Structures are given as structure tokens and as C-alpha cells.
Chains A and B, each alone.
Chain A
Amino acid sequence: MGKIVRKTNSTTGGPVYVDVDIEANGGKGKIVRVYPMDLTDDDPKSWVLEARGKKYSPPRKTTYTAYTAGYKAMVHTNRRVLYPLKRIGFDVNGERNIDKRGEPMAAGDPLYPGYERISWDEAFDTVANEMMRIKREYGPAAIVAEPSSHHLWGNVGYRHSTLFRFMNFAGISYGDHNPDSWEGWHWGGTHSWGFTGGLGNPEQWDLFEDTMKNSTMIVFWSSDPETNNGIYSAYESTVRRQWMKELGIKMVFVDPYYNHSAVLYSDKWFSPKIGTDAALAAGIAYVWVTEGLYDKEYVANKVFGFEEFRDYLTGKGEDGVAKTAEWAEAETGIPAHDIRALAREWAKNKVQLAAGGLGGWGGACRGPTGMEWARMMIALAALQGLGKPGINMYSTTQGAPTDYYFYFPGYAEGGISGDADNTAAGLVLINRMFDGITSRHSSSNLNVPPGSFIPRFKIPECFMGDGKVEWRGKGFVGAAIEQQFHQYKYPADGYPRVQMYYKYGGPHIGTMGETNRYAKMYQSELMPMVVFQSIWFEGETPFGDIILPACTNFERWDISEFANCSGYIPGCFSQANHRMISLQMKCIEPEGESMSDYEIFHGLAKRLGIDGPFAEGKDELGWVKQLFHASDMPKIITWEEFLEKGYAVVPDNPNRPRTPAFRWFAEDREQDVPFQGQFRPGDTIQRKTLQTQSGKIELYSQSLARFDKALEEQGLGADETRPPLTQYIKPWTGWHYEDTGKYPLSVLSPHPRFSFHTMGDGKDAFMNDIKDHRVTVNGHDYWIVRINTKDANARGIKEGDVVKAYNDRGAVLLAAQLTERVPAGTVHSYESSAEYQPIGKPGESPDAGGCVNILSSSKFIGKHTSGLATEHFRVEIEKWEGGN
């Protein structure tokens, strides 16, 4: 071991100290260990909360997740792309052999079969020359970049920052992301209560204090904060939930899977049949309405459409069916006596409804009935007096009582891009980061509503089809409820078809829906060139024509705050027990010939002649320093001290205003939460109402009624997948429909526990050895499917057997785990495998990598949306005996 130096960095799973052997690898350095950060006596004091006669203060140490703990094995691994690669058979100026993309090939580089090593000069020249040729011959928007979510961390290096700055100056368009963790709240919830600035998720300010002081019960509904960590916040909120438990706050869990939070906290667990959550909610609401167990005064003043909702529940609505507990039992499989007991106990207590794990979100919102579930959750919260002390919609992850008024940007504020159309740069950062003379922001004239762009979820249809592809809503529709209804198409009028696909970041073949589509797409002649900018040789990377090797954020400079993304998650930082801002040090030199994303774009920018506008003569550390000075950081630490120490903790601010979410609404006051979470004044009436047309919580959504009217005027008919009245709609992947005979098992496929999307999985890293992540059979690491013991016995499947899960969309090979954590009929398998390993022809043979999203649907969550609904689907499972 050489000389060890302690450095700092940060990740999607928490900030860390990094001990580096700076003499190893010929002076390039090697990571020795990665570990959580203990605060010292020199750091500011932690907050203290008094509740029910006791004082609570958080541990003076950060937490991290397993994939962050194992980051070293993702940095130092033989799965890294170490130098630029060109696909054998690809000649940019001649025969491209497009149909050979992804074909298994023994020839070529021993580390990267099917590829040959090329120099950076050749790689840069090939890509930049082709970009210029395409622009000349086809016009703007013929090049599309499409990034993955969450593959690295840092305000400078994030996709909204460096990638957008490059795209905007280079004239490259975008593969838009749909809000794939928000879907039901976004497409449904916004119509009940607005919050477009949170994509339909509710505000969470100061609800930790509210819960500790006032609440007596929490209902966790499709909420697993111990698995998804809210987002980015590792186990910061765990200690706070433990305190709630100590206070005797009752905790009930509703989730098809007995999740990992239930393991620690549940008094009772309910597993509704897949997709029937809204029916369970209707059954609960029926008990309240018929037994008078709801907040009548609140409903009279704060809720619009209650009468229609009540009629729907009591059988006086269109369907004439009363949503009794017995009716709900028949739909959900949960006994009527339990539904009544839950409803009555709920009404007796001051309840925080933890719908989803962040305050909003939750796997149920990503399923085919996600919109109805989200709207029904809002209805339940409204009926009990949402916003009154102790009664709220709170997922126990945000709302820690840190200083909400210290300004440090999150990555969604665009970092160095300053792109106010496609990031939250306009919120604050653009005004503080760019003076317009010495440093300028960037903007796009392509990736804007009147320009040309494509939805990520429909990339295969766009590239492979020769007709038009149509969808509604551009990406994350955050500006207004009605913008969801705006229609777009590909190719946009006057714009060309895409000629170059520039895939940046991690793979998404494991994260989208019906993903054999993507494998097939790469073999389509309609996609003339594919460039991958990748850290690892994984997923669909081996479909690229040119592969540019990028490095991790341990190999370059950056700056970030623990769990702060800002943008559509206002106050995201309040998940962490301390506001911790890290200098992400360049801990080691990049592995092999890999480069930071910034340096790769810089290299291309030089050849494209846009080096000046792109870089402004700065390297990454120069941008880090500029961002430091654009924040409130100079108030607490000098740049020089920060460079030396590597982090700063924002001091507690015990005298700041306490503004619990929705309290202003419940008390008829102006919205008083921190400004990042406030509505646009023009969307409200005197700033005292929600964003809906009535300003109230709308159980009958007038925005949807207006949209239906417009559809009918166009002769398209009302949207039966998203009716104005909040109600249960039988799921098209549920037990009522869709091949239940052929495919009898319902799959729950949530975001994974031991990786963040694909970050953490595969890569020959440590996480593959986690028993509940992958299982090694005959030397191959299989992704896991969790099956009830009865279903397994009926199929002759034993623990650890390799099984084939299949439906009409494809087949995936998985390792069986036998469990009682799902009932018979329900199986569980996380999405987001990083590996795609077809055992035969790509797109047409079983995948041994574990991309269970091959089996999910590519149908939109609602007829007139562009959201995915991949959480639920149906399959049959059989023991795998080889063959296809």
C-alpha cells in the first residue's frame, strides 16, 4: 500500500470520504475505501427537535447505500470501457453493416468482442465530421441525444448541465424523459390539486416536526423508504422513522410486496391484488362516507366534487355499484373486515398518509392504474382534513428541520447549461451564475415545444416506423396542467428524421417498457449511426457504432449537495439530516483512456468550432468554482477552505419560519412555504388556493372535463382512461383481463433496492454478490424473481432454480426466490437490470441478463398521455431447462 490520502466525493447514494492510494497504478491512484462521513466538533451544531416531552437530534454522521459503499468495484472493474471503440464492419464513409449491430462476435478486441480499438483523434473526427455532414445534408434536429437518469452525481457533470450545454451549442435535439417515477401523480394527481411544479407530488415542508408532535398513525401505501431512500438520501430518514415508532405511532403498510420498510416497522400489512389499490381506497372512503367518519367542514370548504364522489361510492353514480368493503374485498383480495377496521382506525387517528416514498411517487403510480391510485390517495387525504395538525400526506423522507433558506442549487437547476427551458435554471441559478458578458447561459431552439424532439419511451417507433408517431405532453410537463394535453408528433413539421442517435450515460434497455423494441431498433436501417458515450461495456452499449469511454465522478471534479436535485422536487435536500455540500474531488486519474463527459464534449466542441461558447476557457474545476460563488456557500466557507476541507455543513437555522405543508391551505392563508415550492401567483386566487380551476382539491377534475369536451368536439370521444371523476378503473394488466388464462401471474416490478436504475448493478461489481440482488447459478449471476411458495410448488420450482418468465413480448431468465412476501398469484421482480444478455438473436431470444422490462408493456399510462405504466404486467413462469 502506498501513501493514502483522504478525499471527498458524493453520489446518488450519499456523500463519502474516499481514501486513495495516490501512488498506485503508476501514480494515477487507486481507491482504497469509500465510507460515510463523521461530522466533527468544528462542524455546526445539529438541529434539536422537541416533541412529546423528549428532545431529538440526528446522528452526526452521513449515511450511504450499498451501491455507494461498493463504488470502488464499479470504478476499478474490467467492465469499464477503457479506450474509444469502433464496431467491426462499421465504416462511416462506406458500408455500415447496420443489421450486424449487437450480433455476438468473437472477433476484435479481447475485452470488447465485435469492436476494435481506435484513437481519441479518430473517434472525435468520426463523430464530429458526421455531425457536420448530417447538419449540412439534413438540417437541424437530425441528431438526437438521449441520456439515462441518475448515472452520476454532481451539478457540473450532470446531464442537465454539461450535456445540455453541449447539445444547445452543437444544435443537437433531445430524447425526452417521461416522468417515470411520478407518472400517476403527474398525469392524474395534478388534475386533483395542481402542484405541476412537483409534477403532482405534494409539498412536504416541515412535516417531520408535524408528525413527531401531532400524528398517531402512518399509512404507508406503496411506500418503501428503506428501499428507495426517498431519493438520493440513503438512510438519513431511518432514524426519524425509528423515533416515530418509539413514540408509539401506528404503522400500516399497503404494498403487494412485504417491503423492506415493512420488515422494520409494520404493525399490519395488506397486499392488494396488482393494480387494485384504488379499489381498496374506494372501500375505505365508502366506510367513511356512510359512517360519517370524514371531516365535513373541511370537505365543504376545501373539496370540489364531493357529491359526485359520494354518489360514486354509494352506488348512486353511473355504474350503480356501491363500493362497500365486500365489493373492495372482491376486487383486492383483502378481507372486508380488515378494510372496515383500517377505515375506522384511520378516522380515529391523526394520520399521515405516506403515499409513495418521497411524498408522492410509489410503485403504484407507475402501473396502469397509477393515475387513479394517485387521485384516490389525494381524495383520502382530503376527506380527513389534509393540512390540519398531524393530518397530511407525508412519506417520512423529506421535511427534516434544516435551514430551508440557504441557497445551494440542485442538479435540476441546470448547472453550467443555464437552459431555462429544459431545466429549473430560471428558478434562481441562472440569475446568479451567468453575468451575460464574461459567462453566458445556453438555450435550445430544437428541444422546445415548437422545435423537434422525441419521447424516450417511443424512440423505437420513431426510428423504425415510416409513419408519424404522436403523443401528448413534452417530457416532464411542469409549467401548467393543460400543457399535458398539447399534442406533438415525429417527425415534427418541417424537420428531418433522425440520422444520428447519441446515447449518453447508462443503459435503459432494463428500465423502459417492452424493451425488445430497443434491441430491434438498433438493427434498423432507419438508424444510420449510433454513438454511445458510456462508462461501462454493458446493457445496449454493444450496439453502438462508436463507443466513447467516459469516466465516473470519482475521476473528475464536481460539486453537489447531499440529496439535493431541486427542480421538480422542491426541498429535496430536506431529506438529509444535515445540509451537506461536497466538493467532489478528482480522487484518481480516469481509468484507461476514459475522459470526463465534459472533456469528451470539449473535444467534440473543438472540432465543431464551438469550443469558445461551450467551455469559455474553463475546465471543470473552473465551473465548480463559478457555481460555488453563485450559491450561498461563500457565507459559510471560503473557496480556499472548501478546496482543502472538501465539504461544508450548513448551520442550523432554528429561528426560520416553520411552515408545515398545506397548513396555509387548511387555514385559508397565503401559501407560506419556501418560495421554491410556491405556485405561480397567476395560477392561484390571491395566493390562497391550489392550482386547480376551483382552487380546491378537485375530486371531479374540471381540467379533465374541459379536455374531454375538446376531445368530443374533435370527434375523438371522451378519454375513458382518465375520467374527470376520481374512481377505480379495472387495470388492463389486472386479474380481470389480458390473458389471465395464458399468463396467470401478476408481476410487481418496482425500482430496485441495490442499484439506482442501472447504477450499482452488473459491472462485475460487489452488488452482484448480495443474496437478494442476484443469484449465481452455474457461474452466471441471475436477476431474481420472488414467487409465493404455492405458485412455485405448483410449477415444480425450488429456491435458486433458474426459471423462464415469459409472455407475448418476450422471455427473461431469472433465479427463483421462494417467499411469503407476496401472496399466491403475485410475483415480484425489480426493474433496471444493467445487463442485457440475449442467449440468441438480440430482441428475439430470452435475456439472461435480467431485463424484466422486456415483459412490460409499451402502452402509455393513459390514452392521451406519454407516460409509461411498466410496474405491472402478467407472465407465466416455468422451470428453465435450456433451449429457447
Chain B
Amino acid sequence: MAKQKYMVIDVALCHDCNNCFIACKDEFVMNSWLPYTDEQPRHGPRWMNIERLERGQYPRIDVNFLPKPCQHCAEMPCAKGFEDVVSKRDDGIVMLDAEKAKGKKGLVDACPYGAIWYNDEKDVAQKCIMCAHILDGKACASICMPRCTHGCPTGAMAYVEMDAAEFAKKVAAEGLKRYKCDISADGLVWYKNLYRFTSSFIAGGLIKDGDCAEGVTVSLKGADAPDQVTNYFGDFRFDGLEPGAYTVVADGKEIWSGTLDKSLNIGNIAI
């Protein structure tokens, strides 16, 4: 099999600079790359769609971003009913036939990730093609990776050409995940530190004798989470938690107990 063209996105390194989103528009708006794809309308579609998730409550929060292009699913769920439009290249890139996608508004709902957009001006369904026109050397570009990746300043996006077997090792070694893997377990787009977008934390601070309590061991009941030691602000945080019932124990004493349905700042607690 040909080398696959992967994109690895690290959620922990994305701060929503939008270079990927704008680079994508720069490449496809006012430029027709037929037969790969017709031009993107000036406004509206987000072939690179950056989703925002704030976790926690003031002041113990974090803010996470998930740049979401077409996931280039191995299973191609969008192809159901559109077998003649959707195809997969040898390198794994999922393409919509630019001619046959005309008038196919149903494709928009066929993608469970919301990554297919309808171009009303050209009357055609469109999506991220992972800059296949550039990767194929058909676009007079002096770069050889997708535009979003090339414009990323934090290293949050990496373009990787690799054999599938070799990439599987990378997935295991780096803990890469597919977003919503129950929809599609395999494909070209993989995420690092995805837990920051898909799970919750419990955070708080310990106070002793009116000052921040540093060096206190805090443990969590309800999940297999390693104990935390409070920092110089008396802060602790358990991350990567699923919804459920939890109890926080500090210095052997229960300090909080409750049900977690979203990330929680349990506040400053005197011990």
C-alpha cells in the first residue's frame, strides 16, 4: 500500500491563532483547483473548523481548541448513499468528485463530523482535500504539505507521510486518538492530548492557617488517578476524568464529594 498522508494535531499546543483556518481560505477562496475541487466561497464554509471548549470555572479554568478538518475516515461514513461521489485515494485522502458532488446537499448531513459544507454559489458539496493538489505537485506551490500545517506556528499540526503499520506504532507510542472514535476508528487525522477536549477535571486549592498549603498529598476516589501533591499555591488538579461520582481526599481527610458532569473548580478549601 502507498504511504498514507497523516495529520497529527496536538490539542495542548493549539491556542486558536487561526492561521490554519485562514491559510485554508487563502488556498481555496478565489482559486479553483479543479479537478480536485472548485473554489471555496469567500465566507461561510469552515473546511478547517476550530472548536472551542472552556473547562472549569473562574479562576481555575483551561481553554482548549480542536482544529477539525475532514477526518479522512478509513470507513468513509459519508459515502453511504453517495458511493459514486466519495472515494478514497491510495494515500488515504478521501475525495468528493467535484462534478458528481454538484447538487448533492445530502452530503452535508452524511458526514457525522460536520466536515462537509455546501457551496451555494457553485451548487456543490465540498470539504478539506488535505491539499491533495499541492501534495501531488499540481498547484505550482513551493511547499509540500497542507497549507494549514505549513502555517501553524506552535507545532500543533504535523503532516506525516508514513506506512500504515509504522504509523500504528506512532499512535501507540504517542497516545494518539481519533476524535469520536466510535464513529470512525481509523483515518488520516489523529489527535494528541485529546483528553483535554473530551474529558473533565476536578481542581481546587488547599489553605492551611490562612496560607496556601504546599506539598499536601491529594488523592481521588472514583477513578484510577495518581495522587497529586499541591504546588506553592496549594493547587491540585485531577484531569482526564469521565462523568461520575468522585471524592477528593487531602491528607487522609475527605474534602469534597460529588458528581462530576463537567470540569469543576471546587474552590479553596481550608484543611
Contact = CB atoms under 8 A, between A and B. Distances in A.
Asked if A pairs with B, the answer is yes
Interface string A63-99: 1111101101100100000000000000000000000
B30 interface: yes
A30 B32 CA distance: 13
B147 A764 contact: no
Contacts of B13: 264
A35 interface: yes
Interface stretch (A355-363, A462-470, A767-775): A767-775
Given A4-B140, A821-B63, A234 B58 contact: no
Interface in B223-271: 231-235, 268
Contact of A768 (B30, B43, B150): B43
Contacts of B30: 30, 72-73, 76
B32 A1 contact: yes
A263 B52 CA distance: 12
B63 A70 contact: no
A269 B15 CA distance: 16
A35 B232 contact: no
B18 A754 contact: yes
Interface stretch (B73-81, B116-124, B207-215): B207-215
B99 interface: no
A67 B232 CA distance: 40
Given A73-B42, A268-B233, A341-B232, A335 B63 contact: no
Given A226-B17, A235-B154, A770-B22, A33 B61 contact: no
Contact of B29 (A73, A226, A264, A270): A73
B121 to A, nearest CB: 15
B153 A340 contact: no
Given A36-B151, A238-B153, A268 B211 contact: no
A880 to B, nearest CB: 23
Given A69-B26, A73-B29, A264-B15, A819 B211 contact: no
B141 A772 contact: no
A667 interface: no
B186 interface: no
A456 B174 CA distance: 55
Question: Which secondary structure dominates where chain A touches chain B?
Answer: mixed
B97 interface: no
Interface string A335-375: 11110111011000000000000000000000000000000
Contacts of A261: 15
B187 to A, nearest CB: 24
B153 A70 contact: no
A65 B19 contact: yes
A117 interface: no
Contacts of A691: none
A422 interface: no
Interface in A198-241: 226, 234-235, 238-239
B232 to A, nearest CB: 5
B136 to A, nearest CB: 15
Nearest to B263: A820
A110 to B, nearest CB: 19
Interface string A319-348: 000000000000000011110111011000
A642 B228 CA distance: 58
A330 to B, nearest CB: 15
Interface string A162-199: 00000000000000000000000000000000000000
A78 to B, nearest CB: 10
Contact of B15 (A234, A263, A754): A263
Given A69-B19, A338-B233, A820 B141 contact: no
B25 A821 contact: no
Given A19-B141, A36-B150, A72-B30, A271 B18 contact: no
Contacts, number: 148
Nearest to A77: B42
Nearest to A344: B232
B91 interface: no
A823 interface: yes
Contacts of B43: 768-769
A288 interface: no
Interface string A532-568: 0000000000000000000000000000000000000
Interface string B29-49: 111100000000011101000
Contact of B153 (A235, A342, A773): A235
A341 B233 contact: yes
A156 interface: no
Contact of A819 (B54, B140, B207): B54
A344 to B, nearest CB: 8
A239 B13 CA distance: 11
A766 interface: yes
Interface in A3-40: 4, 6, 17, 19, 30, 32-36, 38
A767 B212 contact: no
Contacts of B15: 226, 260-261, 263-264
B16 A335 contact: no
B140 A35 contact: no
A761 to B, nearest CB: 13
Interface in B46-105: 46, 50, 52, 54, 56-59, 61-63
A34 B232 contact: no
B54 A821 contact: yes
Interface in B147-205: 147, 150-151, 153-155
A258 interface: yes
B156 to A, nearest CB: 10
A70 B25 contact: yes
A242 interface: yes
B62 A263 contact: yes
A263 B233 contact: no
A771 B32 CA distance: 25
Contacts of B26: 33-35, 69-70, 72-73, 766
Contacts of A713: none
Contacts of A819: 54
A788 interface: yes
B2 interface: no
B155 A64 contact: no
B38 to A, nearest CB: 12
A414 B52 CA distance: 43
A145 B143 CA distance: 43
Contacts of A69: 19, 22-23, 26, 151
A72 B27 CA distance: 10
Contacts of B212: 337-338, 340-341
A267 interface: yes
Given A19-B140, A340-B211, A64 B59 contact: no
B210 A337 contact: yes
A773 B16 CA distance: 11
Contacts of A772: 16, 18, 52
Contacts of A769: 21, 25, 43-44, 46
Given A242-B155, A270-B59, A821-B61, A337 B207 contact: yes
A63 B23 CA distance: 12
Contacts of A1: 31-32, 140
A770 B46 CA distance: 10
Given A35-B151, A69-B22, A242-B155, A823 B234 contact: no
13 contacts: A1-B32, A33-B31, A35-B150, A72-B30, A337-B212, A340-B212, A341-B214, A341-B234, A764-B42, A766-B29, A769-B21, A820-B57, A824-B58
Ranked 7 nearest A-B pairs via Cβ: A235-B153, A4-B140, A341-B212, A69-B22, A70-B22, A63-B153, A66-B18
Interface of A: 1, 4, 6, 17, 19, 30, 32-36, 38, 63-67, 69-70, 72-73, 76, 226, 234-235, 238-239, 242, 258, 260-261, 263-264, 267-271, 335-338, 340-342, 344-345, 754, 764, 766-773, 788, 819-824
Given A337-B207, A769-B25, A770-B21, 14 more contacts: A4-B140, A6-B142, A35-B26, A36-B150, A64-B19, A72-B30, A73-B29, A238-B153, A258-B59, A340-B211, A341-B233, A766-B29, A768-B43, A773-B18
